[in-house]
Amino acid sequence: MQVTDRQLNATFTALSDPTRRAIVARLAASDATVNELAAPFKMTLPGISKHLKVLERCGLISRSRSAQFRPCHLERTALDDISQWVEENRRVWTERFDKLDEHLRDIQSNKETS
C-alpha cells in the first residue's frame, strides 16, 4: 500500500513531539493504559489523552476495551509505512549521490588526461 502525503504529514507531525515519541517508544515494549503511559510525565491525564488522540488520528496507536480499561496498542504497520518511505527516499538519494560521484570522477579523470 502506498502511503499518502496526508498520512505522512500527520504521522511526522505526531512524531515531532517528544512526549508522543516517548509514548510510541513505551508502546513498542507492550500495550499500556493511559495511567501507565502518563506515569513518567509531569502532565495531567487530559494532557496525555490529547497526545494519545493525535497518535490515534494518524493511525500510530489504537485503543481497545478490556473491562474498565482502554489499553493503547502500537500499530506497527503505520511505523512500517514511515520506514518504507524513508528507505525509498534513502535509496533514491544514494543512487543520485553515486551518480554524482561517478560524474565527478569522470571530470577529474578527464582533467588529468588533458
Can you give the CATH number for the domain in which 82 is found? Answer: 1.10.10.10
Whole-prediction pTM value? Answer: 0.77
By residue range, what is the domain housing residue 59? 5-113
Question: In this structure, are residues 41 and 73 in contact, taking their beta carbons and an 8 Å threshold?
Answer: no
Q: Which alpha helices (DSSP H) does the chain contain, by range?
A: 5-15, 18-29, 34-38, 45-57, 76-113
pLDDT value for 1: 54
Calpha distance 94→85 (Å, rounded): 14
DSSP state of 32: B
Rg (CA), the chain: 21
Number of domains in the chain: 1
Confidence of residue 64 (pLDDT cuts 50, 70, 90): confident
